[in-house]
């Protein structure tokens, strides 16, 4: 199995003169301004089932956030958005760009390497910003786009992560193993936030580690828009359902720092590998939701958690528990994993010594330093509205106005990829995953692609309608398949080669007395 990874980022949108109820339609217009490379619009929603719970049942409905609902114009609830309003664009780099209820959303193509994923994530920023610039030209309106998680008026939008896992591990076991990790991961993965939006028993502080922590409500749930969980239980594998699941992570912040993105996703992927192999951390955190909020708001950076057995443990030590197991299991892994293990350890060491050492690495530290410098120079307090505005400015993807962009241009933050890597990712899919098939067909045969999902592509050419099933294209042999498909000189040859690869896979499975993956080609 290839451990596929991906990110889905909903961008905050502000348009001069537009009220929140108009943003569903305006976000659609922003997405429709994409013109950079070939794309198709036929996303097939019929194959999605967001109400299916990984614990073995369906829920009757998904909850709607009343904060969002008060701004909904008639016919714009997330349940009844039309295809035109969603404005789906499937791009030649294998990514998906669309309007998610008033937020331009960019979903990266499936990736294998962290560097690949970071480049694709950064490509999304540039793609969304290019759409905004075209929108400005067409309308003359001023537009701000933020890669963050809150509008500071009670509404939250997400940055979701996806990790391919094996179906053999019961999901309740996944929850037990992952919960302590996710609760404590915010120490390095948080994006930082001025103030709080859920005051009360958890305390009111001027600055906290995480933007999403304010919006955790339950430990586990299939919902994503309201009563948000730390662990989402949505069961949409986008792969052969009997063999694989997709861990759909919604508790993380949207990160500007390439280093944090690589660290956040990389450590989580290692933990999923350990859980797939049957490992358990042997601890459980009491009241995970409350603990996550307390960690985010701890002004003294003591970061202690209470375990279910009554013990108290430093949150950094919880992370070290996972780190030590990963170091034991992956001591002789590839170069990228070696870098990740060293980065994980050095980050935890610095957090223990003095978090401010990580001003060039972690979003919450870098942003806090900028805000403290402003507060000191201007003689204002943390509660000054302008300080909150600067928080937003840190996340602006405008290269001229964004505070993080300014740090990057000064060479004040760690990079994981180059600008050349990002430029390439804007147009080209990863060559080591099934995203290559999707992106290449869109690039070469745009007019023949009639419908797309993450795991299926429908082609119409001549009198033929052909469905390419990619559910089982998650094995180590994908690169070899891609090399063969790359030699096709036309669409007919491409489809015939795909069929040959499928027939070979089917014969191999039957010869080994293994069940066929379900990969099909339909004429």
Specify whether the CB–CB gap between 116 and 133 falls below 8 A.
no
Query: Rounded to whole angstroms, how far apart are CA atoms 77 and 280?
Result: 40
Query: Rounded to whole angstroms, how far apart are CA atoms 438 and 435?
Result: 5
Specify whether the CB–CB gap between 173 and 349 falls below 8 A.
no
Specify whether the CB–CB gap between 52 and 184 falls below 8 A.
no
Query: Rounded to whole angstroms, how far apart are CA atoms 219 and 229?
Result: 5
Specify whether the CB–CB gap between 181 and 292 falls below 8 A.
no
Query: Rounded to whole angstroms, how far apart are CA atoms 437 and 469?
Result: 11
Tokens of 192: 């930082």
- 3 state SS for 35-83: CCCCEECCECHHHCCCCEECCCEECCCCCCCHHHHCCCCCCCCCCCCCH
Q: How many CA atoms lie within 13 A of 328 on its CB side?
A: 9
Q: Which residues pair with 165 in a beta bridge?
A: 245
* Beta strand ranges found along 303-368 (DSSP E): 304-306, 312-314
Cite the active site residues: 100
> Residue 304 in 3-state DSSP?
strand
Burial, 205: exposed, middle or buried (Cβ in 10 Å; 0-12, 13-18, 19+)?
A: middle
Backbone phi, then psi, for 5, in 5-degree steps? -135, 155
Kindly report the number of other CB atoms within 10 A of residue 121's CB atom: 28
């Amino acid at each position: 199995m290839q451990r596929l990874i991906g990110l889905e980022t909903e961008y905050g949108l502000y348009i001069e003169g537009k009220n929140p109820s108009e943003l569903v339609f305006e976000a659609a217009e922003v997405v429709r301004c994409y013109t950079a490379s070939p794309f198709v619009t036929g996303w097939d929603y019929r194959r999605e089932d967001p109400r299916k719970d990984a614990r073995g049942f369906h829920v009757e409905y998904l909850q709607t956030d009343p904060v969002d609902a008060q701004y909904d114009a008639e016919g714009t609830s997330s349940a009844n958005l039309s295809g035109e309003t969603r404005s789906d664009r499937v791009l030649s780099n294998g990514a998906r760009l669309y309007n998610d209820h008033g937020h331009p959303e960019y979903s990266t193509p499936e990736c294998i390497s962290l560097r690949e994923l970071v480049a694709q994530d950064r490509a999304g920023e540039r793609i969304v910003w290019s759409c905004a610039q075209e929108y400005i030209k067409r309308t003359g309106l001023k537009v701000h786009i933020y890669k963050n998680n809150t509008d500071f008026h009670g509404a939250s939008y997400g940055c979701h992560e996806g990790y391919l896992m094996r179906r053999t591990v019961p999901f309740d076991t996944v929850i037990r193993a992952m919960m302590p990790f996710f609760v404590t991961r915010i120490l390095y993965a948080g994006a930082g936030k001025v103030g709080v939006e859920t005051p009360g028993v958890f305390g009111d502080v001027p600055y906290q580690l995480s933007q999403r922590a304010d919006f955790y409500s339950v430990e586990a749930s299939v919902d994503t828009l309201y009563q948000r969980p730390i662990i989402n239980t949505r069961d949409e594998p986008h792969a052969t359902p009997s063999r694989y699941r997709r861990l759909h992570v919604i508790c993380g912040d949207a990160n500007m720092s390439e280093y944090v993105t690589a660290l956040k996703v990389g450590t989580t992927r290692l933990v999923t590998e350990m859980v797939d192999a049957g490992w358990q951390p042997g601890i459980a955190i009491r009241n995970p939701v409350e603990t996550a909020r307390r960690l985010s708001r701890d002004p003294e950076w003591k970061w202690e958690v209470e375990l279910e057995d009554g013990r108290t443990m430093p949150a950094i030590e919880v992370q070290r528990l996972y780190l030590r197991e990963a170091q034991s299991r992956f001591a002789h892994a590839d170069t990228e994993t070696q870098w990740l293990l060293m980065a994980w350890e050095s980050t935890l060491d610095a957090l223990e010594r003095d978090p401010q050492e990580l001003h060039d690495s972690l979003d919450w530290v870098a942003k806090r330093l900028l805000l403290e410098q402003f507060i000191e120079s201007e003689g204002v307090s943390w509660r000054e509205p302008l300080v909150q505005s600067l928080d937003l400015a840190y996340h602006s993807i405008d290269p001229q106005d964004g505070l993080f962009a300014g740090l990057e241009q000064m060479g004040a933050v760690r990079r994981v990829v180059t600008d050349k890597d990002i430029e390439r990712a804007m147009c080209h899919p990863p060559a080591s995953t099934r995203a290559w098939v999707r992106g290449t067909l869109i690039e070469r045969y745009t007019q023949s692609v009639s419908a797309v999902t993450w795991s299926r592509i429908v082609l119409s050419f001549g009198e033929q309608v052909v469905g390419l099933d990619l559910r089982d294209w998650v094995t180590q042999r994908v690169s070899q398949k891609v090399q063969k498909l790359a030699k096709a000189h036309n669409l007919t040859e491409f489809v015939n080669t795909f069929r040959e690869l499928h027939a070979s896979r089917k014969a191999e499975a039957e010869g080994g007395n293994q069940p066929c993956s379900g990969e099909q080609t339909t004429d």
